[in-house]
Structure 1
Amino acid sequence: MQDNRCVLRIGPDLMFFTGYQPQNSREEFCDDVPNAGQVVVALDMQETELREMLTEIRIIRDDGTHTRMNGLPFLTDAELASPEVLEPVTITYLPPKKYPTGTLTFEHTFPVKGKFIGIVTVENQHGQKYVSQFPFAVGVPLGKSLALYGLLIAGLLGVVYGLWNYGRKPRSPASPEKPA
């Protein structure tokens, strides 16, 4: 997020994006898609440089076989260049095209819940390519998220109670005063 906008870093440039599900609500999202069904995605190329580049969009199913970086799926350059790897898992593809207005909008219907990876590739007139990948989930139940937050809060409360209880020292009985 930057200035309350969803940001996608692609090479040295930034692209703003948002997604929403018109059949459910007009509420926008940046990462996981709340429900299976129709999704509308809008990309906004603020940089003039991006508007002059070819932009390609691909969404693939995350089949769990990709390299992981910081716990997230990540395709290597070899995987990105391999049609044998990409084609069987591609669920939507927008071929390279220039968007001189700087706005790219597309729709896709996710028939089922699951994990996916979005891949945005831009190529300048010199053949230099920049790729941005972003894993996301479709239809992750809210209850699962609430359970995770509940466990984190319970753990935090347990730590606070433990520290409070440990910090309490048992009071020793007062010793009787000796007569003088």
Structure 2
Amino acid sequence: MSLLSSVACADAILSSDNDSKCVLRVGPDLIHVTAYQAQDPRAEFCRDIPNIGPVIIVLDYVDAELRNMMADIRVIKDVGGGADMSGAPNILSDAEVAPEALDSVTERHLPAKLYPTGIISFQHNFTSAGTYHGIVTVKNEHGQIYVSQFPFSVGQAHRGAILFYGLIAASIVAGAFGYWIYSRRYGAVPSSKKA
């Protein structure tokens, strides 16, 4: 009986295709997660949504078993979970994804219900840049509950590019400065003469 009421926390993003569609593992099943923005409705996003404003988030069940499960969806603002080396928000702990801990930081909540078409689509207006978590909780007919999350950022996509190009520029400047110091200290390198 204790196995039937167990709660399992799933891995976050399992994989992504060109950073547009993410595959989320929820228990033994998979869901595609994709986001769209009005500024460019043909562009698809996964982990990095470039601009604040209205965003359409679509969860598309890969496995048909999910259609018979109650699904509860939340979007929460990251409240200090930190980020990994790539800048993506860290995965929240079990205590941080407990419903009572989420209520105060929830920006959007879709209460538990069945989605027999296998598609969950909703719009949310992100008014501030930052890191967020989508949290999917499903419950099957045996009472098993699976919780999974997909961290993403909004309005911060250009920060990575700025950092990358800043590091390149700093490397070029440092190299030029090093060469200038070397040439001042040791003088110009004499060119070899042909005999």
TM-score, normalised relative to structure 1? 0.75
Query: Residue type matched to 1:150 in 2?
Result: Y
Question: Which residue of 70, 74, 81 corresponds with 2:98?
Answer: 81
The runs of at least 4 consecutive aligned structure 1 residues that moved more than 3 Å come to 2-5, 68-72, 151-158
Cα deviation 1:105-137 (Å, max 9, x = unaligned): 111011121221111111111111111112211
Give the Cα separation in 2 of the matches to 1:131 and 1:156. Answer: 44
Task: Give me the identity figure in percent.
Answer: 46
Query: Residue type matched to 1:19 in 2?
Result: A
How many aligned residue pairs are there? 161
Question: Which residue of 136, 146, 164 corresponds with 2:161?
Answer: 146
Give the Cα separation in 2 of the matches to 1:122 and 1:82. Answer: 13
SS of the equivalent of 1:79 reads coil
Q: Which runs of 5+ in 1 are unaligned?
A: 159-172, 174-180
Give the Cα separation in 1 of the matches to 2:122 and 2:60. Answer: 12
Shift, 1:48, TM fit: 1.1
Aligned residues of 1:62 and 1:73 also touching (Cα < 8 A): no
Counterpart of 2:40 in structure 1 is 25
Query: Residue type matched to 2:148 in 1?
Result: S
Cα RMSD (Å):
2.9
Aligned residues of 2:60 and 2:119 also touching (Cα < 8 A): yes
Counterpart of 1:164 in structure 2 is none
Q: Which has the larger radius of gyration?
A: 1
Q: Which runs of 5+ in 2 are unaligned?
A: 1-15, 174-191
TM-score, normalised relative to structure 2? 0.70
Cα deviation 1:8-54 (Å, max 9, x = unaligned): 121221111211012x0111111121111100011111211111111
